[in-house]
A and B are shown apart, each in its own frame.
Chain A
Amino acid sequence: MSIATTATTAPHDEHHGPARGLMRWVTTTNHKDIGTLYLCFALAMFFVGGIMAMLIRAELFEPGLQLMQPTFFNEMTTMHALVMIFGAVMPAFVGLANWQIPMMIGAPDMALPRLNNWSFWILPFAAAMLLSTLFMQGGGPAGGWTMYPPLMLQTGEAFPFVIFAVHLLGISSVMGAINIVVTIFNMRAPGMSMMKMPLFVWTWLITAFLLIAVMPVLAGAVTMLLTDKFFDTSFFNAAGGGDPVMFQHIFWFFGHPEVYILILPAFGIVSQIIPTFARKPLFGYSSMVYATASIAFLSFIVWAHHMFTVGMPLTAELFFMYATMLIAVPTGVKVFNWVATMWRGSLTFETPMLFAVAFVVLFTIGGFSGLMLAITPADFQYHDTYFVVAHFHYVLVTGAVFAIMGATYYWLPKWTGHMYNEKLGKWHFWLSVVFVNVLFFPQHFLGLAGMPRRIPDYAVQFADWNMISTLGGFAFGASQLLFLYIVVQSIRGGAKATGRVWEGARGLEWTVPSPAPYHTFREAPEVH
């Protein structure tokens, strides 16, 4: 971890603040403004996707069709995933990157500020287009976020709009990733060598390379879907000599690195929070960097574990099984290092630390169920059941979303200049951590008992656990309103935050005042 020794802001910041009014947000090229825009957008999409989740759980409260037609249910499962992945989690991480990376490496802003503005402003239009498909003739996409043909090709008028929205979301992500790579490579303060960078910066650098490598693959796959539908090509059409399974291979060649795009920045966040509240340097810094790089490399050679049941040569199944299991090694290194950082630390459990500790425990549960799914013969039993739903929600909700919430509590005083309400923050944490387990843990049992995913109705033997899961879901969803209240309250006022905010905080971002001035590090700080 680096230590700054010089002052960080120019003396005339107060004369060079943001423009006033709405145009500030439309035309801004300031990394902090754009970070705020991303985070607000992500929070809005989190609630939009959350409402869809509530509708899904409401329908599944008891067997039989209660509230909606099966097609609408399928639209909800599809859109919930697309909105949460591309609208909530990824933009939230980009927002955190925008706010924090320049401040963490001593840069005055992102390397390409206009590109940064464009990256963000594509997003609301793409999301609006995606959501508008729900009101089109034939309804929105209902074939799942994986968009497998031929099912996806049955989508009505919405089809080209979904494809275009995915293209736009991908372009936005790639532009954001390019900006992050260039910023980290070219804009570091003197003395901030690569191996002195905070872990959040490292994990984002690796994530950005993953994004640049795989978002074009998704764009290529959906473009081929588009030409199959409208231009009589047969990339994935068996009747024309194409291969629908090829789409699955291409999709998951994107899809598995995408999973790590959704979790590597979370690893970085937890690696910032735990040392702060353990009041110790991160244990095994360099091994954390190499483990992150290893996970990113392995993510390119495990894609077919998502499709074991589709039919593959035994050799391929064995290869993908063993390669998948290998990911547990660098992931285990990370979990070990987080625990070793806490070991004999001077621990306190403010809200960010609570979320970070919950992340370590609950993400590890998601990792273990992932290992179970990696076992090819067992996967034939689990495939497309609620066990998979439980697995990836442990990874993405108690993993990625908990890390984002922990990061919000951790850096909110730096952004707003006010401490959030710690008592309410703890309430939010405990309500979330209890009810998220009530929501998702029973889904393991449902899956092992054979309940398929993506169905609006189910056999009566699954009724009890579904009822409990739905109750947990409603309570977890309601708890997030408390999160919104706490964030808004902190923006509006509260106890003044100091520059350092947390006693154990280390790093350049804590050397600037709270709230962080509009422009920071006009002159590069010295880092030893």
Chain B
Amino acid sequence: METTRPSLDPRVRRANQRLALLLGAVAVGLFVLFIVLNLK
């Protein structure tokens, strides 16, 4: 469909993916943490 976006340098793309995964992991970790903290 839309194929003409300038492609990113693969190093930048990998850096983007790593940072996104890290932030996603932080979000999921906080979700789990707040439930675990409330377990008795």
Point out residues on A near B: beta carbons under 8 Å. 10, 15-16, 18-19, 23-24, 27-30, 108-109, 111-113, 115, 174, 177-179, 181-182, 185-187, 212-213, 215-217, 219-221, 223-224, 235, 241, 246, 250, 519, 522
Assembly CA distance A29 to B6 (angstroms)? 12
Contact A212 B23 (CB under 8 A): yes
Residues of the A chain whose Cβ atoms lie less than 8 Å from the Cβ of B24: 174, 178
Contact B5 A519 (CB under 8 A): yes
Residue of A nearest to B26 (CB): A212
Point out residues on B near A: beta carbons under 8 Å. 1-2, 4-6, 8, 12, 15-17, 19-20, 23-24, 26-35, 38, 40
Residue of A nearest to B21 (CB): A178
Evaluate whether A23 and B1 lie within 8 angstroms (CB atoms) in the complex, with A241-B40, A246-B38 already known: yes
Nearest CB on B from A331, distance (A):
27
Evaluate whether A181 and B23 lie within 8 angstroms (CB atoms) in the complex, with A19-B1, A19-B2, A113-B5 already known: yes
Contact A213 B30 (CB under 8 A): yes
Q: List 12 A-B contacts (CB under 8 A).
A: A10-B6, A27-B2, A28-B2, A29-B5, A108-B5, A181-B19, A181-B23, A212-B26, A223-B31, A250-B34, A519-B5, A522-B6
Residues of the B chain whose Cβ atoms lie less than 8 Å from the Cβ of A216: 27-31, 34
Nearest CB on A from B34, distance (A):
4
Main secondary structure of the interface of A (DSSP, over half): helix
Known contacts A212-B23, A220-B32, then 11 further A-B pairs from the complex at CB < 8 Å, ordered by chain A residue = A15-B4, A23-B1, A24-B1, A111-B20, A112-B17, A186-B15, A212-B26, A216-B31, A216-B34, A220-B35, A241-B40
Assembly CA distance A215 to B38 (angstroms)? 17
Contact A185 B19 (CB under 8 A): yes
Residue of B nearest to A171 (CB): B27
Closest 10 CB pairs of A and B: A16-B4, A220-B34, A216-B31, A216-B30, A111-B16, A522-B6, A178-B23, A27-B1, A19-B1, A216-B27
Which listed residue (B15, B30, B35) contacts A223, Cβ 8 A? B35
Assembly CA distance A331 to B34 (angstroms)? 30
Residues of the A chain whose Cβ atoms lie less than 8 Å from the Cβ of B26: 212-213
Residues of the A chain whose Cβ atoms lie less than 8 Å from the Cβ of B17: 112
Assembly CA distance A386 to B36 (angstroms)? 37
Evaluate whether A182 and B20 lie within 8 angstroms (CB atoms) in the complex, with A29-B2, A212-B26, A519-B5 already known: yes
Assembly CA distance A109 to B4 (angstroms)? 12
Residues of the B chain whose Cβ atoms lie less than 8 Å from the Cβ of A217: 30-31, 34
Nearest CB on A from B1, distance (A):
5
Contact A220 B4 (CB under 8 A): no
Nearest CB on A from B37, distance (A):
9
Assembly CA distance A16 to B1 (angstroms)? 11
Contact A220 B5 (CB under 8 A): no
Residue of A nearest to B28 (CB): A216
Assembly CA distance A29 to B7 (angstroms)? 13
Residues of the A chain whose Cβ atoms lie less than 8 Å from the Cβ of B15: 186
Assembly CA distance A185 to B23 (angstroms)? 12
Which listed residue (B4, B8, B19, B27) contacts A174, Cβ 8 A? B27
Assembly CA distance A221 to B31 (angstroms)? 9
Assembly CA distance A112 to B20 (angstroms)? 9
Residue of A nearest to B31 (CB): A216
Residues of the A chain whose Cβ atoms lie less than 8 Å from the Cβ of B33: 220
